């Protein structure tokens, strides 16, 4: 098991158990976080981010609007 997966699992358990965060809210936050991190890695290149995430450019654009993600470097 990779170090990243172990970290992901521990964060996941922390939010569900300790914070009593509903699964839907947790998944929403995680999706936003992953999109932001990917956009940061590719310096805001939406086409490349969509390709890495395995989604269409239009889907990524919709999620950027949905989560109010700024296209400049955003750190979370």
End-to-end CA, the chain: 25
The better pLDDT of the pair 9, 69 is held by: 69
pTM of the model: 0.74
| CB distance 36 to 74 below 8 Å | yes
- How many domains does the structure of the chain reveal? 1
72 in any annotated domain: yes
29 in any annotated domain: yes
2 in any annotated domain: no
pLDDT digits (tens, 9 = 90+) for 25-34: 888 988 998 9
9 in any annotated domain: no
71 in any annotated domain: yes
**Residue 32: half-sphere exposure toward Cβ, Cα within 13 Å:** 16
For position 53, which CATH number holds? 1.10.10
35 in any annotated domain: yes
pLDDT digits (tens, 9 = 90+) for 20-55: 778 888 889 889 989 999 999 999 999 999 999 999
Residue 10, judged by CB atoms within 10 A of its CB (0-12, 13-18, 19+), counts as exposed
Phi, psi of 71 (to 5 degrees): -80, -5
30 in any annotated domain: yes
């Amino acid at each position: 098991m990779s170090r990243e997966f172990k970290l992901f699992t521990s964060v996941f358990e922390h939010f569900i158990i300790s914070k009593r965060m509903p699964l839907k809210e947790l998944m929403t936050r995680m999706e936003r976080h992953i999109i932001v991190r990917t956009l940061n890695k590719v310096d805001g290149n939406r086409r490349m981010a969509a390709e890495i995430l395995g989604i269409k450019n239009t889907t990524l654009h919709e999620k950027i609007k949905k989560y109010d993600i700024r296209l400049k470097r955003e750190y979370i």
